[in-house]
Chain A
Amino acid sequence: MPDQPNSLLRINNLNIHFKLGTKVIKAVDGLNLDINPGETVGLVGESGSGKTATALSILRLLNERNIYFKQGEILYQSPTLGIIDLMKVPTKTLTYIRGREISMIFQEPFSALNPIMKVGKQVSEALEAHQRGKDKGFYRLKVLGLFEQVQFPQPEIIYNSFPHELSGGQNQRILIAMAIACKPPLIIADEPTTALDVTIQTEILHLLQKLKSEINSSILFVSHDLSVISQMADRVAILKNGRLEEFQRTREIFSQPNTAYTLGLLACRPRLEIAMKRLPTLNEFNLNPKKDNVKPQTISKILAKKRFSFSAIEKKRATLSKQKNILIVEDLKNYFRKGRNLFQSSTEIKAVDGVNLHLREGEILGLVGESGSGKTTLGKSILRLIEPSGGQVFFDGQMISSLDFNQMRKIRKNMQMVFQNPYASLNPFMTAGQAIMEPMKAHGILINGSQRKERAKTLLNQVNLPLSFFDRYPHQCSGGQQQRIAIARVLALDPQFIIFDESVSSLDVSVQAQILNLINDLKESFRFSSIFISHDLSVIKFIADRVLVMKNGKIVEEGYPDVLYQNPQHAYTQKLIDSIPQADKKLMIQAS
Chain B
Amino acid sequence: MEWEYSVIEALQRTDIDLVAYLPDSALSDLIDRVEELDGIDTVLLSREEEAVGILSGAWLTGRRGALICQSSGLANTFNALGSLSKPTRLPFLGIVTHRGDLGDHNLAHTAAEYPMPELLNTIGIRNHCLHDGVDVEQRVTMAAKTAFSQEEPYVMLLEPTLLEGDE
Do chains A and B stick together as partners?
no
Binding site for A on B (CB under 8 A): none
A interface vs B, CB < 8 Å? none
